[in-house]
Amino acid sequence: MHVLILGGTTEARRLAELLAAGPLPVPRVTTSLAGRVSAPRTPPGEVRVGGFGGAGGLAAWLREHTVDLLVDATHPFAGTITGNAAHAAATAGVPLLVLRRPGWRRAEGDLWHDAGSLAEAAALLPALAARRVFLTTGRMGLAAFAPLTDPWFLVRSVDAPGEPAPPRMEVLLDRGPFTLAGERELLRRHRIDVLVTKDSGGAATAPKLTAAREAGLPVIVVRRPPVPGGVPVVTEPEAAARWVTETPAGGRPHR
Same-domain pairing of 134 and 218: yes
Same-domain pairing of 46 and 127: no
Same-domain pairing of 83 and 123: no
Q: What is the pLDDT of residues 2-43, one digit of tens each?
A: 999 999 899 999 999 999 886 667 889 999 998 766 566 788
Written as one letter, the residue type at 136 is T
For range 85-106, the mean pLDDT: 96
Q: Range of 138's domain?
A: 111-222
Q: What is the pLDDT of residues 220-240, one digit of tens each?
A: 999 999 999 999 999 999 999
Mean pLDDT of the chain: 92
- Which has more pLDDT, 56 or 205? 56
Q: Is 19 inside any structural domain?
A: yes
pLDDT at 72: 97
User: How far is CA 213 from its chain centroid?
Assistant: 23
Q: Is 197 inside any structural domain?
A: yes
**110 contact partners, CB below 8 Å, separation of at least 6:** 209, 212, 213, 219
In angstroms, what is the C-alpha Rg of the chain? 20
pLDDT at 114: 97
Q: Is 254 inside any structural domain?
A: no
Q: Is 201 inside any structural domain?
A: yes
Same-domain pairing of 138 and 87: no
In the structure, what pLDDT confidence band is assigned to residue 105 with cuts at 50, 70 and 90? very high
Report the distance separating Cα 254 and Cα 194, nearest Å. 51
pLDDT at 255: 38
Report the distance separating Cα 198 and Cα 227, nearest Å. 16
CATH classification at residue 161: 3.40.50
Same-domain pairing of 14 and 95: yes
Same-domain pairing of 171 and 98: no
Q: What is the pLDDT of residues 155-205, one digit of tens each?
A: 999 889 888 999 999 999 998 899 999 999 999 999 999 999 999 998 888
182 and 212 Cβ atoms separated by less than 8 Å? no
How many Cβ atoms are within 10 Å of 108's Cβ, its own excluded? 5
pLDDT at 253: 42
What are the helix (H) ranges across 65-195?
79-92, 118-124, 180-189
Same-domain pairing of 38 and 118: no
For range 62-89, the mean pLDDT: 95
Report the distance separating Cα 210 and Cα 212, nearest Å. 5
**What sign does the dihedral 118-123-128-133 (CA atoms) show?**
positive
CATH classification at residue 56: 3.40.50.720
The reported pTM is: 0.84
What residue ranges in 24-92 does DSSP mark as E strands?
Answer: 28-33, 46-49, 69-72
Q: Is 255 inside any structural domain?
A: no
Same-domain pairing of 129 and 204: yes
Same-domain pairing of 67 and 158: no
Answer yes or no: is pLDDT of 124 > 80: yes
The angle that helices 237-246 and 10-21 make with each other, rounded to 10 degrees, is: 50
Domain count, the chain: 2
Same-domain pairing of 210 and 235: no
**What sign does the dihedral 212-159-38-175 (CA atoms) show?**
negative
State the DSSP code for 103: P
Same-domain pairing of 163 and 210: yes
